[in-house]
A and B are shown apart, each in its own frame.
Chain A
């Protein structure tokens, strides 16, 4: 300590490196606190997979066989149908959770953003770091989920591996706009409404658990417009090996626009909130 504190500080790195420092922070912090994220990220999706895909799936397959002579939905077992739906839905849940309470926390509770603001990092780096971390979480959660799903025999194509990058895009399509909103809040009271009015209805009606063709016309159109539906369709295409279908380009573009647009808006709202 005694030596010159006034020695020149480390030379400033290339600007890109600043963004990675913010991401590294969140990853390091996660390495210290990951246990508390296990339930939401790993256990719940697998419980859904077991209870709905396998348990309820049995019943559904029997029922379909009795009605239509074949125990499948569009040619696949219920387990194979619902697995990519659960994957996409858990990406939404992880991303929305991560983009709400931890964002508020970084402002008010653990002051992560204040520390970053006082460091060489810029607003764009701070946004990149936190959203990038949501991507990292999606990477881990989706890889683990797909590995278990493969062991259950729920995936019918090696293309399923592409489900991982798509899961990251789904997570960012939710995480970026939600974080852009969350940073404008003074407290966490709006976050439970996001859950009740956003996450839960999407979870139930975006084609995760049954084909949206079963819905009444109005709801069906609404469902098609939701971002989760786009994610479900893409994940399903991966696990069934039909990703090459041209309409998937549109689904992918939809999600990419949400993620990029969300990032750009977040840069503005973060700037407004943190650097006022």
Chain B
């Protein structure tokens, strides 16, 4: 595989063990140039461990891994010179200013001072932080810090950007601004890898994603395809009096693709939620609460990883 090949990351049976514990249990995936690829999974699924291996910061325990056409075990520095990492923590130096954080980081990549300075100012504009250049990082809000970390990851003009939970803990406005910027990067042809446990984020941004659970890949595909396969086009959620349940279930079992019984409601999966509702009402059931919505990745996720809490 050469640098010019279309595969940016190629993993076969990729494994990460910490002592006896297997954090990543032999996963396969492949990411193409220009793709926006997601790792969706609950806490502890092994997303960060996978990102660290792909970013050539942590050695793999087993399996094959090629990043930018090279083996991280032998070409770490070369590979990393073309990667921008946005770690899970806001890994910023709070004793330095916003601008210095960018300048210092850029110098690790051997870029001349002048080039780093020019890029830093352009990136501050990109991250909407121009007027904060001289501010201490301490004084930034959570959203600003995230944008700064993203800007910093771009200083070397990487062809691959890895974002580990870039919007966790941000308010909606800040999240949307980050999404906008990531989308802009994709438009420019950058390959992006994102981990998240926000379904809507994965659904909106990713061309393709894997659902990870307990170190394994539970499913892989484009968001819509995953929804079609593991959920349905629409979902009808019904809250009913206990007495109405059996009658409603009778109708729904016949007409819905799948019915899930939860303590407080029924989730009915099908192509047409309104039609399912009509059928239930026709049978004389008066629901206390009704919601018809599109099938979402959340449904896929819950179906694949279960509804019980994972800690």
Q: B-contacting residues of A (Cβ < 8 Å)?
A: 1-2, 4-10, 12-13, 15, 17-18, 21-22, 24-25, 28-29, 32-33, 109-112, 114-122, 275-276
Contact = CB atoms under 8 A, between A and B. Distances in A.
Nearest to B121: A1
Given A5-B185, A7-B157, A119-B108, 20 more contacts: A1-B126, A5-B188, A6-B157, A8-B82, A18-B77, A29-B95, A29-B96, A32-B95, A110-B93, A110-B95, A111-B87, A111-B92, A112-B93, A117-B57, A120-B76, A120-B77, A120-B80, A120-B110, A275-B58, A276-B58
A1 B125 contact: yes
Contact of A4 (B108, B109, B111, B188): B188
A10 B110 CA distance: 7
28 contacts: A1-B122, A1-B123, A2-B188, A5-B185, A5-B188, A6-B159, A6-B188, A6-B189, A9-B82, A9-B109, A10-B81, A10-B110, A10-B111, A13-B110, A22-B108, A29-B93, A110-B94, A111-B89, A112-B93, A115-B91, A117-B57, A119-B105, A119-B109, A120-B80, A120-B81, A120-B110, A122-B76, A276-B18
Interface in B59-95: 59, 76-78, 80-83, 85, 87, 89, 91-95
Interface in B27-62: 55, 57-59
Nearest to A7: B157
A140 B122 CA distance: 36
Contacts of B59: 275
B26 interface: no
Interface in B210-268: none
B87 A25 contact: no
A12 B111 contact: no
B104 A29 contact: yes
A28 B109 contact: no
B156 interface: yes
A118 B57 contact: yes
A114 B123 CA distance: 21
A35 to B, nearest CB: 11
Contacts of B190: 5-6
Interface string B96-115: 10001000110111110000
Nearest to A108: B89
A275 to B, nearest CB: 6
Contacts of B57: 117-118, 275
B158 interface: yes
Contacts of A120: 76-78, 80-81, 108-110
B154 interface: yes
Contacts of A109: 94
Contacts of B93: 29, 110-112, 115
Contacts, number: 111
B42 to A, nearest CB: 22
Contacts of B85: 118
Main secondary structure, interface of A, reads: loop
B117 to A, nearest CB: 13
A17 B159 CA distance: 23
Contacts of A10: 81, 109-111, 156
Interface string B150-188: 000010111100000000000000000000000001001
A24 B158 contact: no
Nearest to B101: A115
The 5 closest A-B pairs by CB, nearest first: A111-B91, A119-B108, A118-B85, A120-B77, A1-B122
Contacts of B122: 1
